[in-house]
Amino acid sequence: MRNQILHIFKNDVRHFWREIVLMIAVVVAYGWHTSTRSQGPGFIAIDIGFSFPSEILSLLVPVSFIFLIVRAAHAECPVGDRQFWVTRPYDWRQLLAAKLLFVATFVNLPLLVLQVFLLWHGGFWPPRYLWGLLALQLSWSLFVFLPVGMLAVVTASIGQFVLAVLAVLLYFIAFSTLISEIPGIGVAGSDVIPERTTLILVYAAIVAIILRQYARRRTAWSRIVLVGAGVAVPVLFAVTPYRTLIAHVYPVPGPDKPLPVHLAFDPAKPASLKGGYFEKNKVHIKLPLLVSGVAEGSKVTEGGILVRIEAPGGPRWESGWSGGYGELLAHRPRDSETVTLEKDFFERVKSVPVNVHLTYALTPARAQQVVHIVAGPAPFTLPGDGQCLFSPLARNQPVCFFPPAKTERMLLSAKTEEITCKPGENAKPLPAGTVAYGWVWEVGSFGLNPVSAVELALSDFGDLDVRNSRESVCPGTPLTIYTAWQEGPRYRADLEIDGIHLADYKLDDSPDYELGFGVRVP
Amino acid sequence: MSSAIRAENLVKGFRKVTALNGVNLDVPEGAIYALVGPNGAGKTTAIKVLMNIFPATSGRAEVLGADSTRLRGAAFTSIGYVSENQELPGWMSLRRLLAFLRPFYPTWDVALERELIRQLDLPLDRKLSKLSRGMRMKAAMLSSLTYHPKLIVLDEPFGGLDPLVRDQLIEGLVERAPEATIFVSSHDLAEIENLASHIGYLEEGYLRFSEERAALLERFREVELTLDALPLLDRRWPESWMHVAASEHVLRFIESRFESERTRGEIREFFGEVRDVTFRPMTLRAIFVAMARAGRPAPGGSGV
């Protein structure tokens, strides 16, 4: 038979018509429910607040896709020795192609139609966002459908598949726990090599398993490869020389080079040492810093930090590199570094003057696009085709809707004296002269709904106490938006702090938070 | 005559169990080969290795002239495989199954399909999962015969079937015999005794013998000697004598390499002139029982 693809495809359609109808019903229900949660003409308010049907449906849609993929793969199951098709003249390439056609028709296509509809309903013209839609399809295919297909071809039943999924989830939990213990992991830029190698390894294993299962039905081999890849990945992370990579990615700048930020220790004792939390056998200290030199429209990202503490007479402690997430911005002269220490070490050195050496891995960046806008009250736009309006569902804060794969990280800023929000009950008006910041992170790279909704808010008021000021952006508030960041050369910066008493900087354990399994003893 | 199936030193192990121990097999084209042996002897494993369902641990096999490890896809247009434990697509009716399979086989014979449906008395529109075991076997057989396969491989096809269904299947099979080689396994010799042209006996993964049925029947005899004196049993008998036993003046044994003159000569050598000698032909069943009791390869047996 020359063309088995369509023949097998049609047979699968006949076989799984109930599952297909069920999947379409779930997709339609999700599309209808999402689109009817309208809060204004041309806009949909998803991802704002909790909606039980919405949560259930957004879970059921991928589950129905996964179910369909598994059922189609198991119809001609490559696992086992009793399958009828094994001794029939199937061409394995055509069989695989038929299964891919089935998934493309009844998984990718419905997903695409759903996303086109939601995009259109959200006020975005779908053909303009074709690449974004294709990127979403690719993400779903690579991160969900392909791994699901791989697990389906090494399992013989839905029960086995569910067990395999549970095993994979447990593996990820164990994997995350294991790699979080590796010093140096999480420092931006240093894990590119293990991450890319892992991706290549995992996808090579997935593709090899699928091809081998259809071509030769070697399930034992496939399962060994799967487990082998699972073991190789954490080993790869464990043997990566992060310290060397960090030194390479973040070189020490030349002495004549102007630095985009200058960090210094703030000799003034901290006004408050609240905000700590209980962690068994750990102590948190907060070191106040002075920041200067960050230009307007620039940011310096703390990619990682290494802390070394030396006490007279020998006691010495080093944190190892850990990932950092702070952003150093203009108009923020003060910052702090919270360091988590072993309690034993702290008790030994807390009352003696110690030298603290901080090494930062820093990445400067400058916004290539600066936009000045005034928020509402009428709908307004943001870079990246963001459509914003004030929403009662979001506590009268502006909500912005973005089409897929168009959003870059945006830094919002506003002068406090220009913020038009009325002070909350028992709150003082914001003092003039401070710049407030807020972030809009990259959105829309993955998800069922191609329209991402983001609350526009200013969250960083520096040293100001704004606990009772609920709103931060109100109609009439002028905002400056910085985006299209261009990174400068990464570098390492050292900061020496000599002769401080750690006890002066110890954060109080707050009863509000507890971490880990430690028991707080009064 | 060329071989439809040839296996050389085929070994298949499953972790600690060795299911096949160096099996050498040669099934001539056009033969009806019966592979018999007790449950757990390795018959199904042997067939699955030959059909490339399992990979062999070592050794090699050829099926219809092709390496069995390359048996896939188009090669199965010439092979009909039916197994008692094969999972048919239960959601299909027989009509749908046949419609689905038809385009896969260039030699599918619609007239033969109709004839077999009538002959095997199969319901076309009932789901396969709703059919009885016998009906399912008939459906599997039907779907494996209608394209005139050169090789029909049947793994325990008659086990547990009522005699009527069994006869229907055998009848359908025998009609295909002139155009195909048939390789059938069974733990029950009676099922295939009259069907087979060649017989192999597999036990604990060893192929004890493999030869033409007529030759096998010819070389086995129950021998009864009447002697003048009480026989001494503590002697080294010829290798081909099995189960030597005496009762008073009568000595009985099974000769597994019977040739009238040679066997008489051996008897004379051991006992001189005897009062009476009787050579009785044996049934296949009696031969297999003797073999199973002896638990060793049949002396004088030869690979076909």
| Whether the Cβ atoms of residue A327 and residue A301 lie closer than 8 Å to each other | yes
Tell me if residue B5 falls in helix, strand or coil.
strand
Whole-model pTM: value is 0.87
**What's the 3-state SS for B70-124?**
HCCHHHHHCEEEEECCCECCCCCEHHHHHHHHHHHCCCCCHHHHHHHHHHHCCCC
Asked if B76 and A88 come within 8 Å (Cβ–Cβ), the reply is yes
In what helix (H) or strand (E) does residue A386 lie, and over which residues does it extend? strand A386-391
| A–B CB contacts, 8 A cutoff, strictly below | 51
pLDDT of residue B153: 96
The 3-state DSSP class for residue A317 equals: strand
**Contact with chain B for residue A422, Cβ under 8 A:** no
- Same domain, yes or no, for B192 and B255? no
CA dihedral B289, B292, B297, B299 (to 10 degrees): -30
Domain boundary at B216, B232, B262, which? B216
Alpha carbon distance B21, A423 (integer Å): 88
- How far apart are alpha carbons B174 and B197 in whole angstroms? 12
Contact A206, A145 (CB under 8 A): no
pLDDT at B293: 78
Residues B146 and B249 in one domain: no
Long-range contacts of A61-66 (CB under 8 A, 24+ apart): A61/A26, A61/A27, A61/A30, A61/A114, A61/A448, A62/A144, A62/A448, A64/A19, A64/A22, A64/A23, A64/A26, A64/A27, A65/A23, A65/A107, A65/A110, A65/A111, A65/A144, A65/A145, A66/A144, A66/A148
pLDDT of residue A466: 65
pLDDT in tens, B9-56: 999 999 889 999 999 999 999 999 999 988 889 999 999 999 999 999
CA pair distance A2, B148, nearest whole angstrom: 20
B263: three-class secondary structure by DSSP: helix
| Domain-wise residue ranges, chain A | 4-181+192-239, 262-360+492-514, 376-476
Contacts of B87 in chain A (CB under 8 A): 82-84
Helix (H, G, I), strand (E, B) or coil at A153: helix
d(CA A162, CA A134) in angstroms, rounded, equals 29
Token representation of residue A297? 């429209």
Distance from CA of A9 to the nearest CA of B (A): 11
What is the β-pairing status of strands A491-501 and B17-28?
unpaired
Strands B181-186 and B151-155: parallel
Predicted pLDDT of residue B94: 96
- Whether A101 contacts A3, CB under 8 Å: no
Whether residue B193 sits in one domain with residue B91: yes
Let me know whether B132 and B239 are in one domain: no
Does B206 share its domain with B253? no
* DSSP for residue A449: -
Are B11 and B148 in a shared domain?
A: yes
Euclidean distance between CA atoms A336 and A495, whole angstroms = 13
- The answer to whether residues B237 and B125 belong to one domain is no
Rounded CA-CA distance B23/B12 in Å is 9
| CB within 8 Å: B79 and A87 | yes
Q: How far apart are CA B42 and CA B36, in angstroms?
A: 10
Q: What is the pLDDT of residue A45?
A: 45
So what's the pLDDT on residue A2?
Answer: 67
Note whether residue B293 is domain-resident: no
Distance from CA of A203 to the nearest CA of B (A): 27
B3: distance to nearest CA of chain A, Å?
A: 20
Distance from CA of residue A503 to its chain's centroid? 36
The token pair that represents A82 in the structure block: 């009793």
Q: Does residue B142 sit within a domain?
A: yes
CB < 8 Å to B51, chain A: 86-87
Which of chain A's residues have a Cβ under 8 Å away from the Cβ of B57? none
Exposed e or buried b for every residue in A448-462, given b needs 16+ CB within 10 A? Answer: bbbbbbbbbbbebbb
β-partners of residue B253 are B223
Could you list the beta-strand ranges (E) of A34-101: 38-40, 43-44
Q: Is A84 in the B-facing interface, judged by CB distances under 8 Å? A: yes
Domain co-membership, B90 together with B189: yes
The number of domains in chain B is 2
Residue B168, token pair as written in the block? 């229907």
In terms of residue numbers, what domain contains B73? 3-216
Q: pLDDT under 70 in chain A at which residues?
A: 1-2, 37-52, 392-396, 406, 424-427, 444, 465-471, 510-522
Say whether both B233 and B270 belong to one domain.
yes
Mean pLDDT for chain B overall? 89
Which of A7, A208, A209 has its CA nearest to residue A102?
A7
pLDDT for residue A229: 95
Q: What is the pLDDT of residue B6?
A: 96
User: Does one domain contain both B154 and B261?
Assistant: no
DSSP-derived letter for residue B227 is -
Q: Do A87 and B54 touch (CB under 8 A)?
A: no
What digits encode the pLDDT tens for the residues B103-137?
Answer: 999 999 999 999 999 988 899 999 999 999 889 99
CATH fold of A262-360+492-514, please? Immunoglobulin-like (2.60.40)
* B244 and B200, same domain (yes or no): no
Which one of A4, A6, A87 makes the best mutation probe of the B interface by having the most chain B beta carbons within 10 Å? A87
Same domain, B227 and B204: no
Integer angstrom CA distances of residue A481 from A25, A422, A474: 42, 22, 16
Predicted confidence (pLDDT) per residue in B241-257, tens digit: 998 988 888 999 999 99
